[in-house]
Copies of this chain bind each other. A is one copy, B any other.
Amino acid sequence: MTPIAPPATPPSERQQTILAAALAVFSEKGIAAATIDDIRQRSAASVGSIYHHFGTKEGIAAALFAQGLDDYWARLIAATGAEARAERAIDALLEAHIGWIVAHPDLARFLFARRQAVSPEYEQAIRQRTAGHFKVLFELFKPWFRQGVLRRLPFELYGPLLLGPAQELSRLWLGGRAQADPRLSVKELSGAAWRSLASDATLAATLPQESP
């Protein structure tokens, strides 16, 4: 129903070819600047065929989003859910985030360039889907809030504190403005997230002690 719902039938080979071509083009020039003809050339499919399968340029973007977004969040949630301690969970979360981006740079570029989204319904659908995923993730953290391990904050701050630095670094890297493999920075990023979210008490207890 929602524009970015996953398709009923699994994508045919032809569809996959088109999606791959579209992803490449979207990643290079952004959705708005991408042309059906660009996609046609890359995919060696005909215009007619593309329209037969996806109906609209946005339809292609939607299909890619459905595919990418769910995959990304699934990995995030799986990684986080596998850990029992907050600090480790945050480690795993960041590692999953960065790992996924490095594994799918084109898809990441496409997914995280929100601005491009064209129509409002489309934008709306993405937000809801993302919000839903985030809630699931958030549930995993609730026990630690209750235990006082993590600080209670305005809801809107969790995302930024947890993933903001990683997002910023990822953007640099995806845009070619940072060279080093971001996986090398996972420890720092998760460390920052941990310090930002841990309660003062937990944090004090965790910090390496200076010799007296």
Contacts and interface: CB of A to CB of B under 8 A. Distances in A.
Copies of this chain, complex-wide, total 4
Interface residues of A, number: 46
Interface of A: 30, 32-33, 113-116, 118, 127, 153-154, 156-157, 159-161, 163-169, 171-172, 175, 177-180, 184-185, 188-189, 191-192, 195-196, 200-201, 203-204, 207-210
A192 B161 contact: yes
B32 A153 contact: no
A8 B1 CA distance: 46
Contact of A156 (B180, B192, B195, B203): B180
- Most-contacted residue by chain B among A159, A164, A169, A172 (CB, 10 A): A164
A185 B153 CA distance: 10
Contacts of A192: 161, 192, 195-196
A166 to B, nearest CB: 7
